[in-house]
Structures are given as structure tokens and as C-alpha cells.
Amino acid sequence: MGRAWRIEYEGALYHLMSRGNNGQDIYLNDTDRNLFLETISEMSKRFKVDIFAYVLMSSHYHLLVRTNRANLKKAMQWFGTAYTRRFNNRNSKSGHLFQGRYKSILVQNDAYVMRLSCYVHRNPLRAGIVRRLIDYKWSSYPIYAYAKKGPDWLSTEVIWSYFQGSNKHKQYREKVQKYAKEEKRLLEDVHHGMILGAKKFVHSIREQFLPDIPHNDLPQQKYLAKDIDIDGVLKKSAKVVQIDLDKCVQAKRLHGIDKQKRDLIVYLLWNKGLMTNEHLGRLFNISPSAISHSVKIFKEKMVNDKEVKNQFEKVNSQFKL
């Protein structure tokens, strides 16, 4: 299994989750739960992380946070290590507490944070632990919905900014109660299991953070790279190299400069891992073996012909694939 790709920047918003190793409980009693929250408080202060909402389930947790520095990995590594050590010491245990790496979903903006808070606060209800969310105290829900006193490290201003008037607790309570109908729509905006937001936001993240060549051990980079408007890439690259797109993708046999231009576009898509040889073959109306041959010949030309290499770099520079 590849590593998780962590996108970090100042002011980034995240939905964070982690489960117990082999599904085990990550708290054995209320003392452990308080210890967990104390460790969250320490992480918040130490790494300048704002905590907007939390839910502690028996074998996992949910956090909605903002990193005021680009330091998610450092903050979560410290938290996982610190809580595991404290839990093990208190309960005379040893070994891993959490199952692998924590999951992080990058969140577009405050509006999604507010919607996510409704989703995560409903966890005890979906799990059948309680019939009424007010009966579950290991969550920030009672603070928002019933004005219960919360910890000083909980940042409530982001969620409260979406509610007006003196009865905001009632408004929030009603919002959560009705949210079951909206959960599906929220989940539809999760892209590649790592970004929550509109397609425009996904595009901006790809432009800013996706490297030219996705890392083999970071599968999420490959997923994001493949979330590309292939038609748009074809049209733009054909325009740059000055070839008729219909001729490029429909003609089985091309010769001379036209073949070289088509091979450049084929190599562009192949090199970025956007399409398999089979898919490329269908797109360009030639066999997968012909795609392999085309790629091989073009790579050799780039080594031996500076002009061909410069032309490829010119086209390549037009895209953040």
C-alpha cells in the first residue's frame, strides 16, 4: 500500500480520522477519553492548530481542524505518538494503538467545515449508540447545540459565523437534525478520497501541489493526475504543435512532421501516466504495440534531436498534469 499524500499549507482545513489497530478501542474508559482531549489541547497549542469540532467514538475519532502553519504531518505525528505513549503507560500496554496512518481530507473552505461538523456530529446516531445526540457527551455537539461549556481550545467562531441571532444553538441543533438528507450530497464532493470541495478547488490544488511526475508510492497523486480534461489537453497541445486534431486522432498512418507531432502528444499523455497504452491506442486509432513503438522512437529523438526536445518542453510547460 502506498503512503498517504499530505498536502500542507498555512490556513489549510482538514477532516482528520484514525482508527484503532485491528479495530481495537482507543480509549478504555472516561479517563482515557479525557486524556485524549488533553493531548488534543496540547497539540493545538504546541503546533498552532485550531480545532473546530471533535467526536470520540470507541475505536476511532474525527477532528475538524485548521493548521495555521504548514505542519499537519508534524502535528499529527506528535499527537499519535504522545497519546499512544500516555495510553499505554496508563493501561500497562505496549505496541501500536492506531491502525496505520491517519486519514486526512483537505477541505475547501469554512462553509464545508460547517457542513462537515453536522456530518461528524451525527456519528453516534448513525452508529446506533444513542437515540438523541445530546445523550453523547464525547463530542463537541452539545457545545454547539445546547450551549454546554466547552474546552478553551475549541474554536467555535467558524461554525457560528453561519448562524445569526440569539437562538444560534437551536438553529444549529435543527440543522444537524435535518442533515441526514444532505449527507449524500456532501460525500459526492469528496474527490479521490482526499479533497472535499468543488472541482475548481480540486483543479487549484492540482496546479499548486501536484509534481510533474506523480510519485509511484503516492497513489493519490496518480488519481489526481488522471482527473484531467483529456479533450482539453488534446486541443491545447494540438494547437501548440500546430496540427489538426481530427487528423491527429483519426488517421492511422501519418508521415513526416505530422507523425512527429502526433508522437509528441502521445508521449505527453504516456509520460504523465494519464492513459494506458490500450487507452492511447483507442484514442489515436492505432494498436497498443504501435503506441509502445511510438513512445520508444520519440524518446530516442529527444535524446538525439535538440529541436524535438525543445518542442516537447514547450508543450509540456503548458500543463500541470
- Give the chain's mean pLDDT: 90
- The phi and psi torsions of 257 (rounded to 5 degrees) equal -65, -30
DSSP assignment, residue 182?
A: T
Strand partners for 56: 61
Q: How confident is the model at residue 225 (pLDDT cuts 50, 70, 90)?
A: confident
Residue 77's pLDDT is what? 96
Q: What is the mean pLDDT of residues 208-221?
A: 79
Residue 276 — left, alpha, or beta (φ > 0 → left; ψ -120 to 50 → alpha)? beta
Residue 193's pLDDT is what? 82
The CATH code for residues 12-209 is 3.30.70.1290
Least-confidence region, from 27-31, 182-186, 248-252: 248-252
Q: What is the mean pLDDT of residues 164-173?
A: 93
Residue 180's pLDDT is what? 79
| pLDDT tens-place string over residues 284-294 | 888 888 899 99
Query: Domain residues of the chain, as ranges?
Result: 12-209, 229-316
284: nearest Cα among 264, 308, 306 = 264
Question: What does the alpha-carbon distance between residue 219 and residue 205 come to, in Å, rounded to a whole number?
Answer: 16
Residue 132's pLDDT is what? 93
Q: Is the pLDDT of residue 236 over 90?
A: no
**Interacting residues of 287 by C-beta distance below 8 A, sequence separation 6+:** 281
Q: Is the pLDDT of residue 12 over 50?
A: yes
Q: What is the mean pLDDT of residues 256-277?
A: 84
DSSP assignment, residue 4?
A: P
Which alpha helices (H) appear in the chain, and where do they start and end?
30-47, 72-91, 110-121, 123-126, 141-146, 157-160, 168-178, 183-187, 199-209, 219-226, 230-241, 245-250, 256-271, 277-284, 288-304, 306-316
Which alpha helices (H) appear in 183-229, and where do they start and end?
183-187, 199-209, 219-226
| pLDDT tens-place string over residues 95-138 | 999 988 899 999 999 999 999 999 999 999 999 999 999 999 99
Residue 1's pLDDT is what? 44
Chain Cα centroid distance, residue 11: 15
Q: What is the mean pLDDT of residues 241-253?
A: 82
The CATH code for residues 229-316 is 1.10.1750.10
Q: Is the pLDDT of residue 274 over 80?
A: no
Share of the chain above pLDDT 90, in %: 56
Question: What does the alpha-carbon distance between residue 115 and residue 120 come to, in Å, rounded to a whole number?
Answer: 9
- Measured between alpha carbons, how far is residue 193 from residues 44, 122, 213, 286 in Å? 25, 20, 20, 34
Residue 142 in grid coordinates: 452539545
Q: Is the pLDDT of residue 10 over 70?
A: yes
| pLDDT tens-place string over residues 67-85 | 999 999 999 999 999 999 9
SS3 call for 243: coil
